[in-house]
Amino acid sequence: MRARVMPMLTPAQRTAWLRLVRSDNVGPVTFRQLINRFGSVEASLDALPALMRSAGRPFRITSQAQAEDEIAALDRLNARIVATGEADYPEHLTHIPAAPPLLTIAGGQNLDWQRTVAIVGARNASAAGAKMTRLLTTDLGEAGYVVVSGLARGIDTAAHRASLATGTIAVLAGGLDCIYPDENIPLASEILGYGGALVTEMPLGWEPRARDFPRRNRIVSGLSLGTVVVEAAKRSGSLITARLALEQNRDVFAVPGSPLDPRAEGGNALIQQGAKLITSAADIIDSIGSADPSRTMLFEAEWQPEISTPADQPPGTDERSRLRTALSTTPTDIEELLAQTEISPQAMQILLLEFDLAGEIEWSSGQLVSLRGG
């Protein structure tokens, strides 16, 4: 099953999409909730000021000029903004929860985005871990697979370098002009020089923060048929990527390591929990040869009420209070909130949009909502 491909956005539509995506607190789930509610990107932009007045918080909406400036700057960098549903949008990514509505992509026009494997691991990789990564990556490349990773130190760097000639995709936590770490700026240029791709959902000038790396990791795993972990501590970004891959219903593989090496603890734990133990690229290829990313379509749709027309009356103070009381830092299913608060689906949709735009809540898999911690 292939994702539905829509016609390319017009320049005006692309600018409007970028304005909405770059406005304060409009993440992937909020973006889709707004479209569900108001019917189009343009109508959502028109509705934002009133929504934020109801939320009682200051709010920045990206201007037409700012969006046009970003598009022009990306054009000068030979990069492009691709919207979900367009032909150039990576199909595997359309089947994950909270897929980015827009991606910035540089290069990669001739890559096979269908045959992709993610390889991630420790930043302080051992010599043995780096060697294993090179062996896996080389064999995957010779078998026609494109390697995806996060351009971090250690295993990520080894994976990208070993797949330069056969195809690699580097997913960034910051803007296209904010390569992290600095030492991999030359590697990013090499990736583009060899016909590989750099991918990010962040704007130009965005310096990556700690919270941006898990967001990047969901794209690393989401672009891939399966994720391979080569060395990872018990608490590491690589294990976050593996967990996200499992949530996306993708295969997870791990290279076993010595129980005496802390860098092997995470991978060994994954194997104990059901990840597939691998010792060669053939183990990966045998498993993902018949993988079908569209099986994850059950995760794709974010919650929306059965009737998405505007409510007759805007939500009242009492409804806001009931919803705020019902929410907690524990993710809760929307249907449970509806039953507990007795708020109508239409009013619930508006209230969740208001709370989301005010930065008070966060989403898990598009169906569960919780109060934002901290």
| pLDDT mean by block of 10 residues, the chain; 374 residues | 68 97 91 90 92 77 96 97 95 93 97 97 95 98 98 98 98 97 98 98 96 94 97 90 93 94 92 95 89 45 46 71 87 87 85 83 72 68
Cα 331 to Cα 213: distance, rounded to the nearest angstrom = 21
Give the full edge-to-edge strand order of the sheet including 116-121: 79-83, 102-107, 197-200, 168-171, 146-149, 116-121, 226-230, 251-254, 276-277
pLDDT recorded at residue 346: 83
- Considering only CA atoms, give the Rg of the chain: 21
Asked whether the beta carbons of 68 and 76 are under 8 A apart, the reply is: no
Distances (CA, A) of 54 to 61, 205, 316, 317, 372: 15, 31, 10, 10, 19
Cα 125 to Cα 121: distance, rounded to the nearest angstrom = 8
pLDDT recorded at residue 359: 79
Q: What kind and span of H or E run contains 159?
A: helix 155-162
Asked whether the beta carbons of 255 and 228 are under 8 A apart, the reply is: yes
Cα 79 to Cα 88: distance, rounded to the nearest angstrom = 12
Cα 229 to Cα 238: distance, rounded to the nearest angstrom = 7
Burial class (CB in 10 A: 0-12, 13-18, 19+), 53: exposed
pLDDT recorded at residue 275: 94
Query: Both tokens of residue 3?
Result: 């994702």
pLDDT recorded at residue 196: 98
Burial class (CB in 10 A: 0-12, 13-18, 19+), 109: exposed
Give the full edge-to-edge strand order of the sheet including 361-364: 332-333, 368-371, 361-364
